[in-house]
A and B are shown apart, each in its own frame.
Chain A
Amino acid sequence: MDFSRETDLVDAEALEAAVTLIGCGGIGSFAALALAKMGCIHLTIYDDDRVEDHNIPNQLYRPQDVGKLKVECLAQIIKDFTGIAVDARPERFQGQRVQGVVVSGVDSMEARRRIWERSIRYKAAVLAYIDARMGAEVARVYTVRPADPDHVRFYERTLYTDDEAWQVPCTAQAIIYNGFAIASLVAGQVKRIAMGETSNLEIIFDQKTLTFLAH
């Protein structure tokens, strides 16, 4: 790919670090494409789900992908759009060893806590951990450095339980423009990390009230 239109924004070499994406659904499918298009060439994706009909309106998948493994479809889509071959892992993420930048787009707080405790917390090999959450038209994106005790304390305060979480009706869980927005925020955070710029610990974005909060 010719990255000449972004060379003053991001250094292609800086994006060569490993990026692992856990969850290839409403967040992860778009984030994977954004990261690959931006130039993240060492991308590993995890998900054991298959594409269902109800994924088509709000995830990157095509009607012909229904019934197939998400990671395999996503790898093919990324290959078609960028030429990049991602490492597709059709398995549930359960404490595998990871390094570089890790992005989580899973669908429960229990899964987030498990990923955090088994593979991220105080792991020096993980340069940064980005946890993106979506519900209806709201997004929350956390970016922390797992080796930094202050960041660990901050992040763990955001790990509310599934019972404490907002119970969004099945019919209001996801809409495509929120997935695009979160993918954009995730890619922006990966770029900041890669370039050694300050990333935001917390970003909150709501399409309904057009609220944006970052610090």
Chain B
Amino acid sequence: MSVGTMQEQEKIVVKVVTLGKSTQEVRRDTPFTLDALLKEIGVNGGLEVRVNGQAVERARPLVHGDTVLLVPKIKGGR
């Protein structure tokens, strides 16, 4: 295995899905929390946050392979 591949494997890769908008991957070399991620990508009101489908505390550390869902608080229908 090459050094480059090993370094790639050590990265923490988190998938961020903003429903109704886009999907992106966030890569970091060091551990980070959900709260830090949300601040970094500028999440404000109107969205609920799930990690791997579950509502979690914002202090939760994110681990490699997590999927963060940003779910709009929609209200329409009629």
Contacts and interface: CB of A to CB of B under 8 A. Distances in A.
Nearest to B23: A209
B45 interface: yes
A160 interface: yes
A156 interface: no
Contacts, number: 96
Contact of A165 (B19, B21, B73, B78): B73
A167 B46 contact: yes
B71 to A, nearest CB: 6
Which range contains the number of B residues in contact with the other chain? 20 to 34
A26 B73 contact: no
Interface in B28-78: 45-47, 50, 53, 69, 71-78
B77 A162 contact: no
Given A164-B73, A166-B73, A208 B78 contact: no
Contacts of A23: 77-78
Contacts of B17: 206, 209, 211
Contacts of A27: 77-78
Nearest to A22: B78
B4 interface: no
Given A211-B17, A211-B19, A166 B78 contact: no
Interface in A85-114: 104-109, 112
B53 A213 contact: yes
B5 interface: no
A138 B74 CA distance: 8
Interface string A128-142: 000011111111100
Given A165-B46, A209-B17, A107 B77 contact: yes
A133 B78 contact: no
Contacts of B46: 164-167
Interface string A22-37: 0111111000000000
Contact of B75 (A107, A204, A206, A209): A107
B19 A208 contact: yes
A213 B69 contact: yes
Contacts of B53: 213, 215
Given A164-B45, A211-B19, A105 B77 contact: yes
Q: Which 10 A-B pairs have the closest CB atoms?
A: A135-B74, A107-B78, A25-B78, A166-B72, A206-B19, A166-B46, A105-B77, A23-B78, A165-B75, A27-B77
Given A27-B78, A28-B77, A166-B46, 11 more contacts: A26-B78, A47-B78, A107-B76, A107-B78, A133-B76, A133-B77, A134-B76, A134-B77, A138-B72, A174-B76, A204-B71
